[in-house]
Each structure stands twice: as structure tokens, then as C-alpha cells.
Structure 1
């Protein structure tokens, strides 16, 4: 009987589980512990042994096979190669097989976000922190519109290179929507089409100057935005949150003690706490932006889904909004896979954004941009929003009712006025206990959004992509998990 090869990542080098396992296996082969021809554990059993995701193991095995360290044999498994990539090489040549000295290092946060994205990409049920339900997409309408637009663009020879700011047709459609429904006074020359809000955030990080100061973000925030600003050389300062959102008093303290180039906010439904920033704080923020001359990056990622009252107008529509960079997305209207968003700012900022786009993308997706413009002009987008908004409101109400029914007074939450998630206080149940193994596809612990907070006290529960039966099942699972927490 053969002894199983044991693995441990406790002392392995690397910032992520992917790198730790990659380095551990490589070093094991180099040291002789994993000798040529040795069979490695299957991906499923190794993932179970290490307590990590199986997809991570599969990716490491595939990467090492490409590099020549491992070889797979059909129906037999994965083995250490008999001929290793570094054998028979001169010392001077061995340096050529490592790319580490030729590339800039990424931040730990960027590596973590990348690993999460790779793992989630192959899941049927991805981590849900408030994503829309792709089952509600009007597929037949989209298919018909794509076909009609493709034929029209082809006949009129409009499938070549275009404006890096986006198709003028879509920019005009977005301008009409922003003017009529969000009270924003802007022209199509002040709009740039991007591939979702994350690209708009990244462009803002590239255009603003880190030499002029730091970026202020909410203490619990959208981490991909933080990673983008840090990658562009910005120091990120965190501003406190309270029951009304961004704490303006603390922001004044930050401004009086630091040079600040910009403040990134999610005022409509604060991410992740869902709080709507009240009007008096919005006006105070804009006054401070004029006084201290910093940009306000407004991420208005789900403006369409506000249920109980008319939504508060965005920052970009208010007095003293000259420094606002407004970023919106159509991904929440349909699905994240439809990569379309927009940036609204002064013409100089939009010109700089278009210059950056020329370098990385040249232009967006011409066909999809014309399809969306067609749907907006025909009123189909507005009809779809009206329909799904009602469905999401019903799901929000059902989730609230089920949390109260299943948990009683053990949890608490404020019913969100909009959005696709609920921020739930679980501190009575968590009691500072260890929730490292908390695993629910529809919930994210608050410690994920705030790296300085160690003890879990809240979860962000995404109800948007679940029907009522699925909501009940998921909340039931959360209850069973939290009931087993040991202080």
C-alpha cells in the first residue's frame, strides 16, 4: 500500500492560496521531496486536505503542467515530470524561466480579487452580494434587436473603428435618460461609454493625480475600487460610516489634516450597508469639494432600483457639482455579463478618459452599444426596469419577512429603500465567534468589506438573483450555520 503524499500550506510562501500551493509544489520538486514520477493527490482530495477550493488546485496543476513541472496521464492522474524545466540549463539560463523580475508586483488585495474572480467564473451559482437575476433578462427581445442592429450596421458599413467615447447614438440616449430622470444637466460631449462601472472607476484612478493627495473612501467599501486607486499610486484613507452613511464630521477632520485628490462614495445605496445618503450630507459633501478642490467620484451602481419613494437626485445633479465624476452602469438592469456603463464629467475629464481607452481598448463594443441605444429609444429598457423593479421589491419584502420569521429578535436590519441586498446585524449570534468557515453563496460577512475589522457583526444578503423559494432556503441555511457558532 502506498503512503499518501501530505501537503501543508502553513509555511508556504505567497500572498494567496494559489501562489502558496504553486510555490509549495515547485519547492517540493526542487528539494526532492516530490521526486520524479511521484503521483500527486487528485484535485478533489487535495482540496479537502488543505481546506481550499478545488478550482484553486486544478488551476495550480494546470499551470505547473504548462511550465513542465507536472504531467497528467489519462485516467491515471497527475505526476511529477521526469524531465523538469530547470534540468540541463546553465545557471545564466535558469534566470530566464522566472518572470518575477520583469513584472511589477500587484497588491495583495488585487491578487485576492483576481483569485476570487477566477474561482467564481466557473460556478453556476456565483457569490451573490446583490447581483440581478439573469433569468429575468428578455432574451428574445435582445436576440431580435442584436440581429436587426447587426444587419443595419453591416449594410451601412458602420462596423469599423469608432469614437473611443462610445457610439454617439448611445451617448445621446444616455443623455436623454440622465436629463429626464436624474435631473442632470449634461451633453453627450460630457459622457463616455465604458465596459461597466469598474472600468469607469479604473479610468478615474488613472486620470486623477496621486501627487495631489489621497483618495478618501467609506470605511466599509467596494474593494475593487480601492484596489484600482491603490494600483494607480494613491494612498487610500477611510472615512467613518454611521446610520446615515458617510460621516461628514469625520470627513472634515480628514480634509483638515491631509491633502485629498478625491472622495469615492456610493451615496444612493451605500455599498455594502445599503444606507441612502440624506440630502443635507450630499450638499455638505459638495460644498467641501469646492472648498478643498477635490473630485467626488460618485458610483451610482443601482439607481434604477429604488422602491418606496422617489430616489434622491444624484450628486451630479445638485448645486456645486462641478467636481463630480458620475459613474453609472447598465449591468444591474440586465446582468453583469452585459458590460456597459458610462462616465459623466466635464469635457476635459471625458477627453482624458477617451485617451486612456485608446491605449487599452481603442473603443467599446459597437454592436452592443447600438443595441442598448435602440432599446432605450424604443422604451423597452424603461419597461423592463419597471417590470423587474416590482419583482425585486417583492423579493426584498419576502427576504425581510423570512429573516424575521426564522431568526426572530436574534438579528436586526433596516429595510433598504432600494438595491438588491439587505444589511443584517448578526452580532447577537456571532458573539465574536469564529466564522472563518461561514459559507453561504448569497451572503458576505462585513469583515470582507472592511479589512481593519476583525470580528464579524453583519452580513450582506443578496436577494436579487433569488426567487422566493430560494430566498427561504438560503436564509434557513444561514440560520443553521450561525446557530452552530462557538464563542
Structure 2
């Protein structure tokens, strides 16, 4: 007889009823082969005594199992596992039900993508200082304004329609709000039909690449480039061609030379603050790139991930603001302005491309978060987003100035860097006498976690020794603490070389 008393474990603190817990576990025993077809089950009185529960609970469990077809009762004989179920090889009784269902390895084949493998995010102890590659400070997010606006929307009866299926293009009010917002702040010339709302800018990059790069189409990227974008292009089947990046951004003369020798379908650029080096694509190269796109009929994916954060002067308007030929796909979002969890972005393009992207988006994500999109629309209309942006712009500029000053003062003997005109990170090049693997290892001894994937910045294996170090998410005390710990790291490295 199967040892029910030993194997059925009931959690009286669980929200799931006890009779359903019994059902779940008996079904598990049947599926795992522990209870083969025609196996006799203990009577309800006996099982109730073994489990120390009321008999009615067992009766309810058996009734549910009978209704689902797992067991059946034979008058004057007892209750049995249904004899119509398939026979499954019996599992080892020594294993618990959780161990039976703990599957680390799939029993089927599937396509693996090694280029997407990364170490999972880790929650670090308070004393450990983790340095990112340029993300906003979540502590500054306008959570009160978001909560107030969201609450007001959900309390309105007529907004209950937002809970149903809505447009695959995104919330209409948000699209209309973005027309005014982007035309005013980015110098665009768009209407609602040019906008597709996405779950962050990454979805926009994915949709665009799937439509543009099928059948091994060619895309030009920088020799240093945003790694996730590269992965997305590779996933779409694109063939990547690298061109140099210097202090003026992508080398458009090099792009022209490539175009003369092969058919180029797409050029990807982070024109405002190149990722990862933070340089800005010059006005001259912007105009050259637009002319090349018109001449050679390729698409430009313009990823404008942090347009709003420019400190030295007014930001240069995006390529999309001067696109009169329909070549630019402009992608942006609100994760950098507000917080990474605000997964709302947009894809701006000619209407026919937006229509096709919306159809594709439908099969991977039917629609976005309509309530959150409505919230953001109200915050744009009410000026909350603009006020928050102006507020954090001043804070991030102060943090940049302090961070760069401290970095130059205490770490200038080990790094070269230029003060960025905007963005949330600095691009630092470690002197060649040092190696990042050693720096990262020693840093951990000082409770300082740096980017373990520093090699991802070296796409062309040029050994430039550069990485991005984010400053926006560090307040003044944390910035000082980071620089002090880094100074100790190099003290330790220098002592090891003596």
C-alpha cells in the first residue's frame, strides 16, 4: 500500500483549501506513476485519521477527483485510481512530490542562443556598492504623482473600458499626448498615425529589426555599440557590419564606403549619446547620414534613449526631425526619465511601417498596460513629466560634475575619460598596464561590484579597455564612497606589483 500518511503534506497556513491540497498531491502521485491505474485508495475514514483532518475534507477531495476523472468508486469494493489512465513507469517512493516535479533538464530539444546568456541580477547586501552602466535613480521617481494619477483614473467609472481589449497601437490619449510632446521637444512633424506605443524602447528595437533584417539583411553598427541591440539584430537574422566611432560619433564616410560595395538595409545609431562611449553624432555627420539613407534607401534606427539629459547646451534635435524622405525609425521611452519599471516606449515611423509593426507586436504582446499608458498620458498633459524631467536634470548634472571631479582627482592616474555632455554615465578607459579582471576581483574585496561583463564593450576586439560607469544613480555620499573604494583597489593592485 502506498504510504499516504508519509507522503501527503498539508499546509494549514496556505490559502488553498485542504481538500484541494489533497487533490493536487494525489493527482501528482498518479501523474508520476506512484499510483498506477486500478490502485486502491484508502477509505475516507482511514485517510482522515492518517492525516488528522475531518472526514468531510477527504470526502470533498475524493468527490473532486471523481469529477475530474482521476479516480472512481466501485460499490462494495472501494475507491480506485481510474483504470482508463495510461500506465506510467513507477517513480522511486523515496522521492517527495516536489522532487518528482523538480525538472532542471528538458526532455525535448529547443533552440539555444548562447549570445543572450548573462549573469542574473543579484540582490546585494547594504554594505556592498554596486555600480551600473548608466540608469536613473529610482529614489527620484515621481511615485506620488504616478499613484495619484493612477488612482484617479481607476476610480472613474468610464475608465473601466480600459480593462478590456484595446488598440494594438497603444492608448489613444497617450498617442495624442505624444504628438504634442515630441513635436515640441524633439522638433518632429508627426501625427498619431506615426506612433506605436511599446513596452520600452527595447521592444521598438526588436519590432523594427524583425521587420527589417529577415533573410540575412545587412545592418551597420559602431565598433562599440549597445550590446543588447546587437543581440536583437543577430536574433532577427541580420548580418552586422562595424564602422569606426570617434569623438564625432559614427564615421559616415566609412558608412558611405560600405554602401558602395554592398547593399545596406539598416544603420543603427544612438545619435544623441552614443552607447557606450557617450559621444554625440555631429551635425555634419547627421546631415550626411540622412543623405546617404535617401540615396541608398536604407532605414535608420535612431535609438534616442536619453535625449532629455543634456547638460552643456540644448540637445541637438534628432535625425528624425530632419527626415523628409521617410528613412528614420525613431525609438524612445520613459524608462530613463522616470524609472526602468515604467515600461512605456514609442516607435515613430512612416504610417505603413507603424501599421506593420503593430501587427507584429500583436502576436507577441496583444497590447500594453492601458491603465499605465493612460496615467502617463495624463502626466504629460498636466506637465508632471516635464516638471520631473527638469528637476532630475539639475540633480544629474550636479552628480556628473561631482563624480567627474572626484574621479579625476583620485583616479586620474589610472583612467582616461572625457566629461560627457549628457547622459547618465562616463566612458572610462583603463590604462593598459592594468587589466579589468584584476580590478573587478580586487573591487569585490572592498564590497564594490563593477560590471563583470566589461568585455561586452569591446565588440571589435580592439582592447580599448573602456567601460561605462554610471553616475546618475549615485548620490553625493555614494559617489564619494565609490571613488574612495576604487582608490583603495588601485592601492592594492600597485602593492601586488611591487
TM-score (norm 2): 0.73
Deviation at 1:441, TM superposition (A): 3.7
Deviation at 1:435, TM superposition (A): 4.9
Deviation at 1:249, TM superposition (A): 2.2
Number of the residue aligned with 1:119: 121
Structure 2 stretches of 5 or more lacking a match? Answer: 1-90
Distance 1:478 1:346 in 2: 48
Per-residue CA deviation, residues 244-293 of structure 1 (Å, 9 max, x unaligned), is 11112222222222221101110100001000111000111111111111
Distance 2:203 2:167 in 1: 17
SS in 2 for 1:211: coil
Number of the residue aligned with 1:159: 163
Change over 3 Å in CA distance of 1:211–1:97 after alignment to 2: closer
Per-residue CA deviation, residues 223-247 of structure 1 (Å, 9 max, x unaligned), is 1111111111111111111121111
Deviation at 1:316, TM superposition (A): 0.2
Deviation at 1:412, TM superposition (A): 2.5
Deviation at 1:450, TM superposition (A): 2.2
SS in 1 for 2:278: coil
- The equivalent position to 1:104 in structure 2, one of 99, 111, 134, is 111
Change over 3 Å in CA distance of 1:161–1:432 after alignment to 2: closer
Number of the residue aligned with 1:451: 459
Checking the alignment, whether the CA contact within 8 Å between 2:424 and 2:472 is kept in structure 1 is: yes
Number of the residue aligned with 2:242: 238
Checking the alignment, whether the CA contact within 8 Å between 1:432 and 1:455 is kept in structure 2 is: no
Distance 1:225 1:105 in 2: 18
Distance 1:289 1:192 in 2: 22
Deviation at 1:204, TM superposition (A): 0.6
- Report 1:431-442 matches (<5 A): 434-435=438-439, 437=441, 440-441=448-449
Distance 1:391 1:418 in 2: 12
Checking the alignment, whether the CA contact within 8 Å between 1:444 and 1:461 is kept in structure 2 is: no
Checking the alignment, whether the CA contact within 8 Å between 1:447 and 1:456 is kept in structure 2 is: no
Distance 1:344 1:362 in 2: 19
User: Larger Rg: 1 or 2?
Assistant: 2
Number of the residue aligned with 2:191: 187
Distance 2:436 2:134 in 1: 25
Change over 3 Å in CA distance of 1:478–1:257 after alignment to 2: farther
Distance 1:126 1:169 in 2: 39
Checking the alignment, whether the CA contact within 8 Å between 1:287 and 1:320 is kept in structure 2 is: no
Deviation at 1:321, TM superposition (A): 5.3
Aligned length: 396
Change over 3 Å in CA distance of 1:454–1:445 after alignment to 2: farther
Distance 1:419 1:85 in 2: 44
Distance 1:164 1:433 in 2: 46
Distance 2:251 2:412 in 1: 31
Distance 1:425 1:212 in 2: 34
- The equivalent position to 1:130 in structure 2, one of 130, 134, 148, is 134
Change over 3 Å in CA distance of 1:121–1:256 after alignment to 2: farther
- The equivalent position to 2:355 in structure 1, one of 332, 351, 357, is 351
Change over 3 Å in CA distance of 1:85–1:369 after alignment to 2: closer
Checking the alignment, whether the CA contact within 8 Å between 1:129 and 1:444 is kept in structure 2 is: no
Matched, 1:479 2:487: yes
Distance 2:468 2:385 in 1: 28
Checking the alignment, whether the CA contact within 8 Å between 2:131 and 2:470 is kept in structure 1 is: no
Change over 3 Å in CA distance of 1:464–1:441 after alignment to 2: farther
Distance 1:97 1:307 in 2: 51
- The equivalent position to 1:424 in structure 2, one of 417, 425, 428, is 428
Change over 3 Å in CA distance of 1:479–1:249 after alignment to 2: farther
Checking the alignment, whether the CA contact within 8 Å between 1:325 and 1:345 is kept in structure 2 is: yes
Structure 1 stretches of 5 or more lacking a match? Answer: 1-67, 87-95
TM-score (norm 1): 0.75
Distance 1:120 1:358 in 2: 32
